[in-house]
Amino acid sequence: MGLSHQSMVNAHPDLDLVAVCDTSTYVLDVLSKYTGVKTYTDHNVMLEKEQLDCLFVATPTRYHSQIVGAALERNLHVFCEKPFALNPEMAYKLAELAESKGLVNQVGYHYRFVGAFNEAKRLLDQQIIGDLHHVRAEAYGPVVLRPKGSTWRSQSAEGGGCLFDYSCHAIDLVNYLVGCPLSVSGSVLNRIFSTDVDDEIYSTFQFSPKLFGQLATNWSDESFRKMSVKISLWGSNGRINVDRQEVQIYLRSNKGLEPGLLTGWNVRNTTELTRPVWFYVRGEEYSAQIDHFAQCMKHRTPTASTFRTAAETSLVAAMIRADAGKARTSVDPASVGTTSPGAEQRDSSRFGIRSIFGRR
């Protein structure tokens, strides 16, 4: 992650890359030899010696709060990678510190910079699909596909796991599009291949008496070429499906809110929704979020993905973790005055299903 930030920052016309800091002296030696960048192995030494305006933090999550805190104390603007902090308490503390000092702060929730999601937000803000009643947030992709892995992503104590990774992206988008949920319930943290962390997460959200949502994320799904996040929203006047590539809008009627949209299905895709960036490495959104940070520093305006919104995302993630340990309602035949069907019966019904699908 840090290397692609370096590539984009270095190419930005308004930013001067002063130095980089990493624990791998090997990588630092190669970078310094071939790109001439000044390098450090201790961020405190770097902060002490260099005259900096801002810091980009792309370390494993457990170092975020310490490094971000040190930078804020020195009055630097900070861009930090997601999921920001290991716990919401620390995340809110850092948000308050940055706000109290008037420093520009941003967390790398890059989906907030995808044209399609921003188009969906624009349409939702106009209440184009009426009163929302359901939101579904899904994220699938191939990260952990084997019972193996030795990096920090596989360690729960270091902020690894699908909840801190894929789920946080999906939660952050829900918070961005609809607002932060008031409650979570029925949460599941399940392991597929990992031994120390969760690989799939499911949860039910409530936003208001009439608006509910569901979260489904799984980073062990290799049927996806890369991470894919999709949000589906249902309202009294239709529905919106949105992913990185396109916004699909179904309207029961277009009450003249948005010219160009028809009653029924409408599709707007990435080509028309994506704004050009000054430099492209691996997707406009990654460039756009760095440019946004640079522009916010220049104009001293708040970012579209602040420490505070990231803290709210961390809070929802923490509540899902807490909820996952809670008691569930058993499916108990005795509670309706009957006994469990016999094993033989269940086996034959399963066989029946198999034989239906077997006929091709």
Q: For residues 28-67, which are near another protein according to CB under 8 A? A: 29-31, 33-37
Which listed residue (189, 277, 294, 297) binds another protein by CB under 8 A?
277
Yes or no: say if 242 and 268 are a contact pair by the CB < 8 Å rule: no
Is residue 8 at the binding interface for another protein, with CB under 8 A as the rule?
A: yes
Shortest distance, CB of residue 282 to another protein, whole angstroms? 6
Other beta carbons less than 10 A from residue 283's beta carbon = 16
Where do we find the tokens 């309602």?
329
Is residue 196 part of the contact set for another protein (CB under 8 A)? no
List the one residue from 272, 340, 347, 349 that touches another protein (CB under 8 A): 272
Within residues 132-171, the interface with another protein by CB under 8 A covers 142-143, 148-151, 153
Measured CA distances, 32 to 25, 29, 45, 48, 135 (Å): 10, 5, 17, 20, 48
357 touching another protein, by CB under 8 A: no
Fill in the per-residue mask, 278 to 297: x = in contact with another protein (CB under 8 A), - = not in contact.
xxxxx-x-------------
How far is Cα 143 from Cα 211, in angstroms, rounded to an integer? 32
CB of 223 to another protein, least distance (A): 8
Structure tokens at 289: 């979020």
7 in contact with another protein (CB under 8 A): yes
CB of 193 to another protein, least distance (A): 12
Q: Which is nearer to another protein, 177 or 273 (CB)?
A: 273
The answer to whether 57 and 67 are in contact (CB under 8 A) is yes
Three-class secondary structure of residue 266 per DSSP: strand
Return the range that interacts with another protein (CB under 8 A); candidates 102-110, 123-131, 201-209, 222-230. Answer: 222-230
Nearest to 243 by CA among 282, 272, 270: 270
Residue with tokens 């919106």: 240
Closest approach, Cβ 110 to another protein, in A, equals: 15
Residues 134, 142: Cα–Cα separation, whole Å: 27
When asked if residue 23 is in the footprint of another protein (CB under 8 A), the reply is: no
Q: Is residue 105 a contact partner of residue 303, using CB atoms and an 8 Å limit?
A: yes
Q: Where are the alpha helices (DSSP H) in 282-342?
A: 284-299, 307-324
CA pair distance 326, 312, nearest whole angstrom:
22
Residues that bind another protein (CB under 8 A): 3-4, 6-8, 10-11, 24, 26-27, 29-31, 33-37, 142-143, 148-151, 153, 225-226, 228, 230, 243-246, 269-272, 274, 276-282, 284
